[in-house]
């Protein structure tokens, strides 16, 4: 079954939403008009509490958005997504990151074959290997226990495991896990500076095993290791995660040290596969399994729950509302925990590589906005950086606030301060500060009248800025798995509504092609005719 190809702008709901967008109300008015608004626009699920009442919606808007989801065929699309249909049509592949965390007795078929037994075989291999490295049973070429792990990979082969490793730092064991991604030689050397070749394990992660950055870095590291310990050490110090066994073999990694992945998992959704090996090494296989279980819980919620109580569906429809009807270009994600420092970067690949498309599923240019820009930074740090623009700037930027009721280390005093900021900011963004409030405050400061009048306009906050709050109990591997899966499903729903293919990424190819042309050109000058600007810059680089 293919995904439906409905142009969303041709639906009745789209027309309705266009009308509704012309009747704006303020958030404060919405609350004043409906005393049960907070409860009506909230969803409690597992340890999640989603309060989306501080958004520019009401019952009519919500039901038109849900109508849109129905009219574009979300129900059938959701079935196709979970059942291994070839929904990544332009690459001819199924999209089955959900199968990677399915229950062992699940039956999920790709071309007639149940893929779950193979998934569990790889999971068992990850578990055994991670335990052997963590306990020191698996030794280096010098018969020592490994102390460090370096993940060599980029994009989905870096961002997922790096984000998870940082997010679950509280659950970490003694292994120092590093992430080498950029082809920047300085980045490579700074990591190598920190590790001892005799006790370092290198995990080369590349779905294709052909990515320029990863292969360059892996070869540099291989040479470094060979210089230090001899060529024979490579087999003890390198393992690989990939679909490309021939290339792994050519690189010199033995097949027993290969962790396979499948072409039906996209790079940016692959952390649940063997791509998560470095994270499993960092936090131990039990925590990695709990992460997968949490994601599976969210999969079940997304697959079974009616749209109006379905967290990813509601979040995606809010994005559609802001993006297509209220003119928002971006969305900001602000986690109030330092552990989720890398979540915005991770989501940038997930969201923008998936939905940054302008051709619809029928192959025509779209006439409406698709993928929004995603950005963010932890709170409270970001309050002292970009919040000025959220409070008093000219842009409409819907914000996701992510927080936890409990801190991991206790420190109640700190946590109360952190969370007081978390709650205060969403309230301040909504309520703002009126002219009369500003005047009153300044008057109490005993300032002279002229100075007060001069200052008043600058101190007004218009408020009415939308926020969605996700409050969870505690940051555990399980909660994190559910949180990441929530965003994955949000991406899927948006793609279905926008009638685009979310699971290819042709847009990254052109830059790669021109890079290889320019690299050749650096060694054979004058072979290619460049535009004036590029030619001038290249000449400067050579000189």
Catalytic residue numbers?
A: 353, 384, 512
Q: Is 93 in the site for ligand F6P (CB under 6 A)?
A: no
464 binds ligand F6P (CB under 6 A): no
The two tokens of residue 541 are 């680089």
Nearest Cα neighbor of 259 from 280, 237, 242 is: 242
Q: CA–CA separation, 272 vs 265, rounded Å? A: 9
Q: Whose CA is closest to 65, among 277, 323, 447?
A: 323
Q: Least distance from C-beta 296 to ligand F6P, angstroms?
A: 22
Stretch in the footprint of ligand F6P (CB under 6 A) among 48-56, 137-145, 207-215, 462-470: 207-215
156 binds ligand F6P (CB under 6 A): yes
Nearest to 98 by CA among 78, 125, 113: 78
Binding segment toward ligand F6P, per CB under 6 A, in 53-61, 203-211, 457-465, 520-528: 203-211
Using rule CB under 6 A, residue 273 touches ligand F6P: no
- The enclosing H or E element of 423 equals helix 412-431
Contact between 63 and ligand F6P by CB under 6 A: the answer reads no
**Measured from the CB atom, is 73 or 155 closer to ligand F6P?**
155
Of the ranges 153-161, 173-181, 225-233, 531-539, which one interacts with ligand F6P (CB under 6 A)? 153-161
Q: Which of 165, 211, 273, 296 touches ligand F6P by CB under 6 A?
A: 211
The gap from C-alpha 492 to its chain's centroid, in whole angstroms, comes to 13
Q: Given candidates 208, 235, 338, 381, which one binds ligand F6P under the rule CB under 6 A?
A: 208
374 binds ligand F6P (CB under 6 A): no
Q: To which residue do tokens 């906050």 refer?
A: 461
Given 73, 84, 155, 276, the residue binding ligand F6P (CB under 6 A):
155
The values of phi and psi at residue 261, to 5°, are: -135, 170
In 185-231, where does DSSP find H-type helix?
Answer: 185-194, 212-229
Report the nearest approach of ligand F6P to the CB of residue 214 (Å). 5
214 binds ligand F6P (CB under 6 A): yes
Q: Which is nearer to ligand F6P, 65 or 241 (CB)?
A: 241
Q: How far is the CB of 149 from ligand F6P (least distance, A)?
A: 18
Q: How many binding residues for ligand F6P (CB under 6 A)? A: 14
- Residue 289 to residue 286: CA distance in whole angstroms: 5
Is the Cβ–Cβ distance between 360 and 10 less than 8 Å? no
Of the residues 61, 149, 150, 154, which one makes contact with ligand F6P according to CB under 6 A: 154
Separation CA 285–CA 168 (nearest Å): 12
- All residues at 6 or more sequence positions from 133 whose CB lies less than 8 Å from its CB, including other chains: 146, 149, 175, 201, 281
Residue 355 near ligand F6P by CB under 6 A: no
Give least dist CB 173 to ligand F6P, A.
26
Q: Of the candidates 97, 268, 400, 490, which one interacts with ligand F6P according to CB under 6 A?
A: 268
- Give the count of beta carbons closer than 10 Å to the beta carbon of residue 355: 22
Give the H or E element holding residue 467.
Answer: strand 467-472
Using rule CB under 6 A, residue 324 touches ligand F6P: no
Check residue 206 for interaction with ligand F6P (CB under 6 A): yes
CB of 349 to ligand F6P, least distance (A): 7
For 127, 235, 257, the CA distances from 252, given in Å and listed in that order, are 23, 7, 10
- Note whether 161 binds ligand F6P by CB under 6 A: no
Q: What angle do CA 178, 184, 190 make, to 5 degrees?
A: 45
Nearer to ligand F6P, 271 or 472 (CB): 271
Q: 106 or 373, CB closer to ligand F6P?
A: 373
Estimate the crossing angle of helix 449-459 against helix 435-444, to 10 degrees: 140
Distance CA 261, CA 384 (A): 42
Interface positions with ligand F6P (CB under 6 A): 154-157, 206-208, 211, 214, 267-268, 353, 505, 508
């Amino acid at each position: 079954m293919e995904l439906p190809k409905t142009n969303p702008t041709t639906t009745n709901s789209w027309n309705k939403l266009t009308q509704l967008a012309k009747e704006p109300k303020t958030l404060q008015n919405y609350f004043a008009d409906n005393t049960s608004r907070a409860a009506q626009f909230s969803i409690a699920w597992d340890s999640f509490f989603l309060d989306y009442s501080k958004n520019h919606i009401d019952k009519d808007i919500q039901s038109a958005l849900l109508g849109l989801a129905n009219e574009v065929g979300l129900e059938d699309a959701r079935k196709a997504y979970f059942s291994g249909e070839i929904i990544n049509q332009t690459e001819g592949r199924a999209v089955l990151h959900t199968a990677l965390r399915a229950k062992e007795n699940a039956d999920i078929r790709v071309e007639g074959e149940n893929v779950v037994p193979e998934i569990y075989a790889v999971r068992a291999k990850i578990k055994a290997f991670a335990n052997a490295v963590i306990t020191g049973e698996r030794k280096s070429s010098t018969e020592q226990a490994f102390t460090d792990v370096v993940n060599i990979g980029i994009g989905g082969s870096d961002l997922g495991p790096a984000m998870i490793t940082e997010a679950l730092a509280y659950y970490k064991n003694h292994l120092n896990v590093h992430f080498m991604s950029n082809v920047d030689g300085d980045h490579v050397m700074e990591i190598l500076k920190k590790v001892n070749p005799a006790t370092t394990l290198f995990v080369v992660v590349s779905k294709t095993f052909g990515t320029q950055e990863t292969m360059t870095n892996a070869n540099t590291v291989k040479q470094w290791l060979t210089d230090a310990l001899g060529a024979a050490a490579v087999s003890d110090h390198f393992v690989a995660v990939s679909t490309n066994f021939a290339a792994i073999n050519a690189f010199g990694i033995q097949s027993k040290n290969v962790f396979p992945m499948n072409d039906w998992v996209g790079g940016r959704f692959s952390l649940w596969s063997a791509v998560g090996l470095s994270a499993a090494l960092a936090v131990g296989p039990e925590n990695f399994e709990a992460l997968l279980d949490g994601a599976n819980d969210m999969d079940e919620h997304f697959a079974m729950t009616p749209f109006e109580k379905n967290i990813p569906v509601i979040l995606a429809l809010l994005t559609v509302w802001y993006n297509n009807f209220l003119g928002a270009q971006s969305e900001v994600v602000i986690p109030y925990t330092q552990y989720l420092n890398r979540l915005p970067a991770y989501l940038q690949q997930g969201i923008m590589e998936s939905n940054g498309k302008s051709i619809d599923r029928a192959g025509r240019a779209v006439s409406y906005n698709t993928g929004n820009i995603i950005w963010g930074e932890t709170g409270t740090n970001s309050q002292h950086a970009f919040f000025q623009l959220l409070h008093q700037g000219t842009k409409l930027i819907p914000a996701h606030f992510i927080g936890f009721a409990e801190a991991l280390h206790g420190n109640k005093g700190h946590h109360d301060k952190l969370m007081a900021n978390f709650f205060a900011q969403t309230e301040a963004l909504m309520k703002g500060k009126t002219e009369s409030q500003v005047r009153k405050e300044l008057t109490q400061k005993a300032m002279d009248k002229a100075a007060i009048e001069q200052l008043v306009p600058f101190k007004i906050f218009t408020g009415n800025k939308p926020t969605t709050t996700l409050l969870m109990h505690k940051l555990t591997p399980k909660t994190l798995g559910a949180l990441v899966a929530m965003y994955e499903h949000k991406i899927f729903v948006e793609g279905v509504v926008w009638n685009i293919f979310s699971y290819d990424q042709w847009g990254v190819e052109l830059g790669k092609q021109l890079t290889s042309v320019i690299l050749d050109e650096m060694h054979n000058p004058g072979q290619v005719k460049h535009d004036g600007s590029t030619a001038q810059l290249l000449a400067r680089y050579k000189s």
